[in-house]
Amino acid sequence: MASNTKYQAPRGMRDFYPEDMTRRNAIFDAWKEAAHRFGFSQYDASVVESLDLLKRKAGEEIVNQIYDFEDKSGRKLALRPEMTPTLARMVASKQNSLTFPLKWFAMAQCFRYERMTRGRKREHYQWNLDIIGEESISAEAEVIAASVHALELMGLSSKDFKIHFSSRALLSDLLSKLGIDATHHQAAFLALDKRGKIDDKAITELLTKEGVDSATIEQVFSLLEISSLDDVQKALGETTDALVNIQSFMSLLDTYGLKDAVVFDISVVRGLAYYTGIVFEAFDTAGKFRAIFGGGRYDNLLGDIGGKPATGVGLGFGDVVIDEVLSEKTSDEESENTIDVTSVGFMQEEQRNTAMSVASLLRAKGNNVDLSLKPEKAKNFFGKANKCNYSKAVYIGPDDKEKGVVRIKDLATRREEEMPLS
Ligand code: HAM
């Protein structure tokens, strides 16, 4: 849309007008409620982080997307592109006094210099839900159950989304079976994660750089066609720890009643280097949008950043894609929901004090009240209250003041309730 002002938000940064805030708050409320329901405690940190903590191995897209800068003293800083390194830093610096397993959540603003597409902005909020210090797959199951609860609070069901999961440890077993040395697995994961985003020729080049010959690369690609754990077992020719682990994970999800919400999908690899075990990504069932959220197990990150070794499992759930999914699902009628505000207005200056007293009384009783700031004609007053989708309205004219009553009008049903002014 053409703007009639000189200034606009920087490209990819978002303005939140009141109607946008209503939608954003609904998402934040669901995140927060689900996190509390599952026993997670909230934490937060500055969006400005040390660049050194955020920079990791080459091959990760995220590292090239960092907004970095120097402060006036020459410190190399950045706007965080994700919360996980900050979480690891915070945990590592108090590791001796914290109680594990630790379950923390944050609603973090993150910045990534991305190529802008649908569902991708340069600034987004991300619900982070992490469990540090739990080795068993019950951590993965609990995090996934909490995310499903958040989606349900937003009005979605397992008909609307599916959580696709796999395991890097399992993929590692399969790569070893093809004769690819473990030292190249992480680079192979990052290359495979790019499938569908860059062409196979470019992925082949990345794998060739890792010393994988062309015949093996063909086999690596064919691994991604595997569609069940039975096929994995056949390809491995044996039962490995990673296979047992993912089988147990599936039966645990079954116990949670989440069987319909999840699907095994070997092509889920994730684009961050630190994942070591089960990885997952949620998508809308119709497959129209990018991932709603993603996460997995990262058992080496704490140790890698200088903390004591501790396991981690978590997810990042952004507000951009889910907003698009919800907007598409919500019919126009539903989006016209009234907001819980009583509008209080008055016809002439003489009724201002009465209107003010009514507003004070209603506010003291816990109602949200929008008091008119000047006298208004009834038509204008009610027109504005309806346009704002307010739930109730009280309009005070000379007669009401004389009679000593006010009429509270329900704007949806148009019913009126009389109340003594006293
Ligand atoms: P991620 O997959 O990079 O994971 O991001 C998680 C989610 O954040 C995505 O699924 C998406 O919803 C949202 N997101 C990411 N980038 C953008 C963007 N440019 N615009 C809009 N939304 C975006 C992580 O960041 C991990 N740190 C998550 C995690 C936490 N793993 C373990 N704990």
Cα-to-centroid distance, 354 and ligand 1 (Å): 52
Taking only the tens place, the pLDDT of each residue in 374-411 is: 999 999 999 999 999 999 999 999 988 788 889 999 99
**By alpha-carbon position, which residue is closest to atom 4 of ligand 1?**
316
What span, in angstroms and rounded, lies between the C-alpha atoms of 194 and 271? 8
Global confidence as pTM: 0.92
In this structure, what DSSP letter does residue 261 have? G
| Residue whose pair of structure tokens reads 């473990």 in the numeric block | 182
Confidence check: pLDDT of 45 > 90? yes
Is the per-residue pLDDT at 267 higher than 50?
A: yes
The pLDDT value recorded for residue 334 is 57
Q: What distance in Å separates the CA atoms of residue 412 and residue 139, rounded to the nearest whole number?
A: 46
Q: Out of 26-40, 66-80, 212-226, 270-284, pick the least confident.
A: 212-226
Q: Whose CA is nearest to atom 20 of ligand 1?
A: 120
- pLDDT for residue 332: 45
Question: Hey, is 84 helix, strand or coil?
Answer: helix
| Distance of CA 337 from the midpoint of ligand 1 (Å) | 30
What is the residue with the minimal CA distance to atom 29 of ligand 1? Answer: 315
Task: Using alpha carbons, select from 228, 296, 288 the residue that is nearest to residue 264.
Answer: 228
Lowest mean pLDDT among 84-88, 91-95, 175-179: 175-179
Q: Residue 271: CB partners within 8 Å, gap ≥ 6?
A: 60, 61, 62, 190, 193, 194
pLDDT band at 222 (very low <50, low <70, confident <90, very high): confident
Q: What is the pLDDT of residue 4?
A: 72
pLDDT tens, residue by residue, 235-247: 999 999 999 999 9
The residues that bridge with 395 in the sheet, in sequence order, are 345
3-state DSSP call for residue 55? coil
Give pLDDT, residue 401.
77
> Which SS3 state, helix, strand or coil, does residue 346 take?
strand
pLDDT above 90: residue 61: no
> To the nearest whole number, what is the mean pLDDT of the chain?
93
283 C-alpha to center of ligand 1: Å? 13
Ligand 1 in contact with 84 (CB < 6 A)? Answer: yes
Dihedral sign from CA coordinates of 248, 250, 252, 255: negative
Query: Do 232 and 245 touch, CB atoms closer than 8 A?
Result: no
Q: Which residue has the higher pLDDT, 117 or 307?
A: 307
Task: Taking residues 366-376, report their average pLDDT.
Answer: 97
What is the model's pLDDT at position 333?
A: 47
The predicted model gives 144-158 an average pLDDT of: 97
Instruction: Kindly report which listed range (102-106, 271-275, 292-296) carries the lowest average pLDDT score.
Output: 271-275
Distance 126 CA to ligand 1 centre (A): 7
Residue 88 CA to ligand 1 centre (angstroms): 16
CA dihedral 17, 20, 26, 31 (to 10 degrees): -90
pLDDT confidence of residue 1: 52
Give 86's contacts (C-beta < 8 A, 6+ positions apart).
45, 49, 53, 80, 108
Atom 8 of ligand 1: nearest residue by CA position: 318
Position 339 scores a pLDDT of 87
Counting residues of the chain whose pLDDT is more than 70, the rounded percentage is 97
User: Which domains are seen in the chain, by residue range?
Assistant: 18-329 (3.30.930.10), 339-420 (3.40.50.800)
**Confidence band of 197 (pLDDT split at 50, 70, 90):** confident
Residue 308 pLDDT grade (very low, low, confident, very high; cuts 50, 70, 90) = very high
Tell whether ligand 1 has an atom less than 6 A from the beta carbon of residue 124. yes
- Would strands 339-346 and 293-297 be described as parallel, antiparallel, or unpaired? unpaired
**Section 197-205 average pLDDT:** 90
